[in-house]
Chain A
Amino acid sequence: MKRGGLQGYIIKRLIYAALIAFGVVTITFFLLRLGPSSPADKYLANMSARTQDPAQVVAAIEARYGLDKPVYEQYIDYVVNLARGDWGWSFSTSMPVMKLIQRHWVYSFQLILLSMLFSASLGILIGIYSAVKQYTRTDYLATLFSFIGISIPNFWLGIMLILVFSVQLGWFKTFYDTGLPMFSLANLKALILPVITLGTGMMAGYTRYARSATLDNLRKEFVKTARAKGLPERVVIGKHVFRNAILPVITIIMFDLSGVVFGGAYLTEIIFGIPGLGRISFNAIFAGDYPVVVTITLIGALVVLLTNLATDIVYTWLDPRIRYD
């Protein structure tokens, strides 16, 4: 395989990702303009304009934010501003949206990272174990538990955890303590319940994927070869099967970001009062602070886009069988 092939592939993927990002931005812009109330109304509802003539205030706001221009000019302004890093002004918190995001993203990040580590490691281990012991009682139990994990609504699980461990037993606080230093045991302890809340559903999903991927690989010829040449079962499973089974599971984990993780993190942050992006978007919704809501939706989409891109590229690099065309 030629080196140029890989570079060409990466460049192609990058251009494609840029196009998708452009599409995402366009869709959010037109969704906003399609809404029944204009952005100026939303501003108005949040400015104490009772003493003045509302029509004048609306006109002033529209002029200030360029909302009186024709739609295509607004659209161009919007895209240009986004590209320049000017993502709007959050009036419920009185700061640029970007600054708000900078202040809060790390809370979402730590929650999502820990949950993914927790669910992926445990899920893959249980999945492989369950596949190796196929049709035993352990396997059935693991399958049943993965069904339960997939079906349990994660926000309800969060409430139940609070009910049992915080309200009844008093082991944890009912609300996340933001004053704790990021790298401390106390912070880790405060994140235990949120991580279980977010991670259980994901873990159950990964258990199923890992189980079926392992089962697929166990039937392959190379496993027979490995066993025939007298390798201990530990090496056959731990090295040959594991390495082949893990790739598709990791892809699924990365692609999961879009559907499961963001929605789950949004709800988890609201339940536990973690001031991450989900929580500030939630607050912004009830304050009518639409630049924040738009930005967080966009950020979600962009993170998904970048992870998918990274997964694609890393995958081609990890797996030499993939051809780039």
Chain B
Amino acid sequence: MKKISSKVGGLKNLMFIGALLVLGLILLLDIYLVDKILAPLEYFYLFFAILVIFYGLYPLYVNRRLTKYYWERTKRHRLAVFGLSFIAFLIAVAIIGPFLTQDPTKVNFEEKNLPPLGFSIQQSVYDLKTGEFVTRETPGTWKHLLGTDDKGRDMLAMLVSGARVSLQVGLLATFIAILIGTIMGVLSAYLGGWADMGLMRFTDIMMTFPFFLLLVFIIFIFGPSLAFIILAIGLTGWTGTARLVRSEALSLRTREFIMASKSLGASDARIIFRHLIPNVLSSIIVIATLSIPAVILAEAALSFIGLGDPTVTSWGVVLHAGQRTLDIAWWVAVEPGIMLFLTVLAFNFLGDGIRDAFDPRSQL
């Protein structure tokens, strides 16, 4: 992966800095001139998109031969391809879906507990004409393809909104965790001595906390908001990455090519950014892909027990509502769970495929 940088050179860096400047400009504009264009989360998101384009997609585009090689290897994993296509579908849904579906927060008690299309249930309904409750057959309608919940909110719209939340949380929190973990790991391996000791003992302490208990504890203290949940998961989930990066960096540090560049007078920063990080990147990508589902599940679990952001409609929130109406409306609990399950499964399949594809030792 390290051959990429020499080919691309200065232009890319310039464009990257330019994009960051534009983002900063928007931020300044937002703070000083206009009253709120974007929510704080959106900045996170734009920054993330810029990073992915410049450090993910662009190198892959420039280095088509390598891209093709990785693609060939990933493609042989049929399950990984399924995972990738499902994730692509989900991203598309999360981006354009909310413009096509109804408002997921719109309450309508006249259309409550409608089953998905093709199903039909008996339930007591308030009759507007007589003013009495009557038991009536309520079939699923085309207007609400996947049914409605006990407040008459459209399930499809809520699921689409949930896809957006889950992907936001999954990608951003993982990104933060990986970033912190990589910095910790590289620093620890590179500085050595007392710094290494201190950082690794801190990692050990963080690892001792059961992840979910710590998360619940932090949310309990600081209060639930989506941005904070993302931050909390990111700030607690970096330990595994730190250990992995440290051990890989330690073994790399003594390799010939790094020794060679050191003896040629390369600075520490240059060695870290040009040699160390590109070489641990494949492990980082694998661990990132495999930790996205864990993060998505953590957010869903928090929302499910009522510690999620009350202002967003995530799958966990819908599931929480569905648990209460299990005996009347089974679909409210079933549908978000299936989405959650498929998403996690897709990321797990993809992660497994990528791991095999990046591992030069594995024979497919």
Residues of A bordering B, CB below 8 Å: 19-20, 23-24, 27-28, 31-32, 34-36, 147-148, 150-153, 155-156, 159-160, 162-163, 167, 257-259, 261-263, 266-267, 270-271, 281-282, 285-286, 290, 293-294, 296-297, 300-301, 304-305, 308
Contacts and interface: CB of A to CB of B under 8 A. Distances in A.
Which secondary structure dominates where chain A touches chain B? Answer: helix
B333 A153 contact: no
Given A23-B201, A163-B333, A263 B301 contact: yes
B114 interface: no
A63 B178 CA distance: 43
A153 B212 contact: no
Nearest to A299: B213
Contact of B293 (A20, A151, A300): A151
B345 A147 contact: yes
Interface string B313-357: 000000100110011001001100100110011001100000000
A156 B220 contact: no
B217 A155 contact: no
B130 interface: no
B220 to A, nearest CB: 5
B319 A156 contact: yes
Contact of B337 (A31, A147, A153, A286): A153
A294 B326 contact: no
Given A151-B345, A156-B341, A23 B212 contact: no
Contacts of A155: 300-301, 304, 319
B221 A34 contact: yes
B192 interface: no
A35 B222 CA distance: 5
Interface stretch (B16-24, B31-39, B202-210, B244-252): B202-210
Contacts of A23: 201-202, 204-205, 208
Contacts of A163: 326, 330, 333-334
Contacts of A34: 221-222
Contact of B341 (A152, A261, A290, A304): A152
Given A167-B326, A286-B306, A300-B213, A305 B220 contact: no
Interface of B: 79, 201-202, 204-214, 216-218, 220-223, 293, 297-298, 300-301, 304-307, 319, 322-323, 326-327, 330, 333-334, 337, 340-341, 344-345, 348-349
Q: Which of B202, B212, B297, B322 has the most CB of A within 10 A?
A: B212
Contact of B220 (A258, A270, A290): A290
A297 B218 CA distance: 10
Contact of A151 (B301, B334, B344): B344
B341 A153 contact: yes
A296 B333 contact: no
A152 B345 CA distance: 8
5 residue pairs, one from A and one from B, having the closest CB atoms: A263-B212, A156-B337, A262-B210, A23-B205, A35-B221
A270 B201 contact: no
B337 A159 contact: yes
